[in-house]
Amino acid sequence: ILYGWYITSGAFSIETSLPLYDCRVAIICIIYGVFFNNNKSKRIGIYLGFVGSIVALISPDLDRFIFPHYTWVSFFVGHILLLWVSCYIFFVEEIEISFKKYTEVFIFTNVLHIAVIIFNSISKSNYAFLSEPPIFKEVAGRLHPITYIAIMMLMLNFSLYLVHSYFMKSRDGKLKLSHRKIEN
């Protein structure tokens, strides 16, 4: 729906409208994973979706349009649904999570971000906030671009690791949600 609006309204731009933000990649991966029963794609989607949606909801970077514009509603509803679907796939579908599977997500994410960094430098865009952060721009502006990128990559990788640790602990029974069959 968002891309239909981008195209029909004339708001589409190479600098902001491509699906190169982590949450947009997560949505595509989850949709692909659900329709084609591809667990690798679902895993990429839930890791990126879990991290990305929480970060986006804590520090929203809203479009240039003022509330109550469609893009505001789309932003919040989209990120809340992405978080919910990521949790659903993990807790209800009980998708396999292991260190090997986490490593696949880690490699995919880092290759994606290297490609995004290159694209950002060519197009002068800020996908995945790898050129400048949505908040604390003054502080980040004092850093060398390579230092900023390294910090962002480390923060994202650490966040993915925290999500993986949470997922593993929940599977060990410490945070286990039970699915009990209700009998009459």
- Residue 13 burial by Cβ neighbours in a 10 Å radius (0-12, 13-18, 19+): exposed
- pLDDT score at 178: 47
- pLDDT score at 63: 62
- pLDDT score at 160: 93
* Distance spanning both ends of the chain, measured CA to CA: 43
- Assess whether pLDDT exceeds 60 at residue 110: yes
- Assess whether pLDDT exceeds 80 at residue 14: no
- pLDDT score at 96: 86
pTM of the entire structure? 0.83
* 118 Cβ contact partners less than 8 Å away, ≥ 6 residues apart: none
Higher local confidence (pLDDT), 141 or 122: 122
- Assess whether pLDDT exceeds 60 at residue 183: no
